[in-house]
Amino acid sequence: MASLPFFDDYDLSTVDILLISHFHLDHAASLPYVMQHTNFKGRVFMTHPTKAIYRWLLSDFVKVSTAPEATQGLYTDEDLSQSFSRIETIDYHSTMEVNGIKFTAYHAGHVLGAAMYFIEIAGVKVMFTGDYSREEDRHLNQAEVPTQRPDILITESTYGTGIHQPRPEKENRLTSLIHSTINKGGRCLLPVFALGRAQEILLILDEYWENHPELEGVKIYYASSLARKCMAVFQTYINMMNESIRKKFRDSRTNPFHFKHIKSIKSLDRFDDLGPCVMVASPGMLQNGVSRDLLERWAPDPKNALILTGYSVEGTMAKQILNEPNEIPSFRAPETKIPRRLTVEELSFAAHVDFRENSEFIDLVGAPKIILVHGEQNNMGRLRSALMSKYQDRKGTDHEVKIYNPKNCVELDLPFRSVKYARVVVATENEGPVVDESNTDAKKPLSDSAPLHEGQILSGVLVEKDFEISLVGPADLREHTNLTTSVVRERQTVIVDAGSDLVRYYLEQMFGAVEVLADDADATEFRVMGAVNVTHEGNQSMIEWEGNAMNDAIADSVLAILLAVDSSPASVKLSSKSCSHDHNNSDDKSTPETSELHNKSKRVITLEERIEGVLAILRAQFGSALKYDPSNSGLAPTKATIEIDNLVAEIDFENLSVVCERSKILQQRVSHVLERAVDTVAPLSQNLAATNSVGSKSTTSTKTSSNGNNGADVAKPVIEAKPIIEAKPIIEAKPGIETK
């Protein structure tokens, strides 16, 4: 458990996609544990060769970890089988999309099937290299540069600022060391990982033996049952390798991985250790297994040679023996010391980039933010310092490069500013949901017969799905999303011991004009502010409305008015039933008093009256600074001025505008007070008609509910957007990305 990544520090249930770069154990060994023993519910992707080798590699890992002398394993072979069937494959250069996350696989070099991933999330582009190599060898393509420029490059830093020897020189030195050792009658041990560099070294040796007939009698062995099983995968996926080996395959009509001069052995029991030979054996760190057994057997003979071809990890025998100690401990009996006299050489064939290749790749990719991972702390620190020095001259410019080497579990919060586009879905039917808010006379849904025009305001529901934003009418939500719509209609009945004329009077006093929908002997129905219906029948009033924030507020006001009708002093004067016995005019709904008050309540306030009301509020705010004298011929009767510290703001009551050329602050202040004053001196219905607040200032009356897809669609509040015929409207956004 101690060797696992820090899974406990993260909620794996929030992870949508898990991308495996290649099959090496340090990148893939914990996958069955994650899929079977955590709350991870996402999807897993890897390339076809990676999946093929992964099955054999992990099966061998399970056998080793569940051996009697081993501690309890992380998972069983059954866990491996069940999780294996859920793994999906991806081809190189193909782009897939999951929940709005797009990712493309590129060749990474390193090992067969290794992939770099170009990922796009909410418009932010991230390039993850995994382990990669920019050097084309005998069978692998070099790592590719993506076709797009990412915002973030996450790259390995295994070798830090180290520089590799060129491949031809390494191969010449390797074959020379082996040849000279054989000429001395010695044996060569090459500890390697079972898969990856082992196949490259076998190709080199097989070709060298083919070109040197004098070595015909010297055997080359590779001792790894896992490598033997997986060799069929290498023989199968020739088409995913580089042009050099594909050409060799076409020309010779034989598979390059059918070696002529190399023999596989299952165990040392079948190995005749007689005379010079070359042994390619695993594991590469010499911790145990065949390579450790042969090291202890051959270490005392100075004619023999140990050639380390891969990266040596601190704390392993491979790292320790590089210091050329005089003796080494026995694996099975550590207290027993074995003299070391064999030659120790290091030739790095590890398919990782060195500083030169890494630096060149970073330049080619051109990402403004670089995150260093996969390396020892010292190597990462040296690489970061070298890169910062390289890009020092860009600091403070638009081309500045920022470099991070975070510690494990340290979260990076990198802000990005990008342009987001909202797709406006325009209604195609007369009852379509997208409303023209710029028409103050009658808000009618748009249709094909009503083309869009510049400056027109549309309203709808802002929906975000898979990081894409759309402005959709409520009726079109089902078509364009997985959301369904429903309308909540509310109804409430109260006792109102008054006639319909009295009810109408009080409603008009509060809301101004009230629309009469029906008026007969049995019942009278009103509509208040185009939103709330009031049906008065006998001594009951029923209120109905479509639920939303604005309508709920209007309905609350209507309800409060109806409940106060009986107790209002005006009701005593206007009631047609002032006592318990009947009068001849008890059913008369048109008494002089009620008619007069109804006419007064329905009367539209004149411009002069509104000006007087507004002036009273302006005087309360600005006092003597307000100048208004309609008798003065020099000042129009519909205009006034406010003079403060030699600054003059002119008010035009006809169009309710304020102009102050010398002070925008004074102009804004007077405009704000004027707007509030206008709202105060008229009934609500007139104010709302004047300011067009219904619809454009309230949320939509449609409520949404999720219909599957685990809430992938999110309904947002109504926004106003100007339609653009030839381009999408632009919404500035500042998405953030978290990189672990």
**Residues noted as catalytic:** 352
Contacts of 634 (CB under 8 A, 6+ apart): none
d(CA 463, CA 700): 13
Q: Do residues 274 and 216 make contact, with C-beta atoms less than 8 angstroms apart?
A: no
Nearest to 406 by CA among 377, 379, 368: 377
Question: Packing angle between helix 167-183 and helix 197-211, nearest 10 degrees?
Answer: 60
Q: Are 282 and 194 in contact (CB under 8 A)?
A: yes
Structure tokens at 488: 């909540």
Helix (H/G/I), strand (E/B), else coil: 133: coil
Asked whether 657 and 670 are in contact (CB, 8 A), the reply is no
Residues 6+ apart with CB under 8 A from 596: none
Query: What are the distances in angstroms from CA 625 to CA 573, 620, 633, 642, 649?
Result: 44, 10, 20, 5, 10
Q: Which of 370, 392, 363, 403 is nearest to 134 (CA)?
A: 363
Distance CA 355, CA 162 (A): 6
Is the separation of the CB atoms in 681 and 615 below 8 Å?
no
Q: Which two structure tokens, joined as six digits, stand for 229?
A: 């099983």
β-sheet with 115-121: strand ranges across: 95-98, 101-107, 115-121, 124-128, 152-156, 369-373, 402-404
Separation of alpha carbons 408 and 372, rounded Å = 12
| 543, two tokens | 């209120």
| CA–CA distance, 688 with 245 (Å, rounded to integer) | 78
**Long-range Cβ pairs for the range 576-585 (8 Å, 24+):** 576/499
Residue 200: both structure tokens together: 């490259």
CA nearest neighbour of 496 among 552, 555, 537, 556: 537
How many helices (H) and strands (E) are present in the chain, helices listed first? 20, 37
Query: Is 592 exposed, middle or buried (CB count within 10 Å of its CB: 0-12, 13-18, 19+)?
Result: exposed
